[in-house]
């Protein structure tokens, strides 16, 4: 009886393991394609036939693969990986808000300098991050990939955060004028909500959370590259 339970447990574990390999490999491919779209967009700027904006060029890839990152929160809560669920929520929530709550609904954020900055930082970071996870799950991580994973964030994280904040800043000005998603008094629910103020609140939340996440990555870097026992958890 015990052996049957053990076999089922091993089968479930193997299924989860293979699922995580597939998930991370697909995410690596998706973000690689987005990086390719970003590069080719700017290389083709001299092409008179090209009339699509940067956002129109990448929007479907961005929406699909950024929102697919929500699964990482589920993975953490279900203990598929040993990542801290709260830290995972913090890492993912700001991007989801920028993509779904800003870029998808405001024109000004799409025209902001923040968009190419965020896309560049996100795509390079995610190609490296998901690539590192995929190799980890396969049982061997080339040192160069590991080094990139725990080094490039030093530059890419500030660039990405700057891009996100610029998109949020541009969006809140547009929403202040249009009143998008805002609820004014009086109404039957006796409720008021100002979406522009919500985005400003989101921006202020970067002040406590970004340093925390940034320092967390430096801690991981010391553990992984600093000669200590390698960290096995997906962070």
Unique residue bearing structure tokens 């522009």: 196
23 is catalytic: no
**164 given a catalytic annotation:** yes
Cα separations (Å) of 47 from 41, 42, 51? 10, 10, 9
Q: List Cα–Cα distances, 94 to 120, 134, 160, in angstroms.
A: 16, 24, 11
The tokens for 145 are: 């990939």
**Residue 95's CB: how many other CB atoms inside 10 A?**
18
Identify the active-site residue in 19, 111, 157, 214.
157
Please identify which of the residues 23, 41, 72, 164 carries the catalytic annotation.
164
Q: Give the C-alpha separation, 221 to 150, whole Å.
A: 5
Q: Which residues are catalytic?
A: 157, 164
């Amino acid at each position: 009886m015990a052996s049957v339970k053990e076999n089922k447990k091993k089968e479930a574990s193997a299924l989860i393991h293979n699922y995580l390999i597939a998930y991370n490999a697909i995410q690596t491919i998706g973000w690689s394609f987005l990086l390719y779209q970003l590069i080719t967009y700017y290389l083709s700027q001299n092409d008179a036939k090209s009339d699509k904006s940067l956002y129109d060029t990448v929007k479907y890839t961005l929406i699909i693969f950024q929102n697919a990152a929500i699964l990482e929160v589920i993975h953490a809560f279900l203990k598929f990986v040993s990542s801290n669920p709260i830290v995972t929520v913090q890492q993912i929530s700001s991007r989801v808000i920028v993509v779904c709550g800003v870029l998808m609904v405001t024109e000004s954020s799409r025209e902001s300098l923040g968009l190419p900055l965020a896309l560049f930082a996100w795509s390079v970071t995610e190609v490296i991050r998901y690539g590192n996870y995929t190799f980890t799950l396969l049982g061997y991580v080339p040192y160069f990939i590991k080094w990139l994973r725990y080094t490039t964030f030093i530059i890419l994280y500030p660039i990405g955060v700057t891009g996100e904040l610029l998109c949020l800043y541009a969006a809140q000005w547009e929403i202040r004028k249009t009143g998008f998603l805002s609820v004014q008094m009086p109404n039957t629910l006796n409720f008021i909500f100002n979406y522009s103020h919500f985005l400003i609140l989101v921006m202020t939340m970067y002040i406590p959370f970004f340093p925390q996440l940034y320092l967390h990555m430096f801690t991981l870097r010391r553990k992984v590259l600093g000669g200590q026992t390698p960290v096995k958890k997906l962070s």
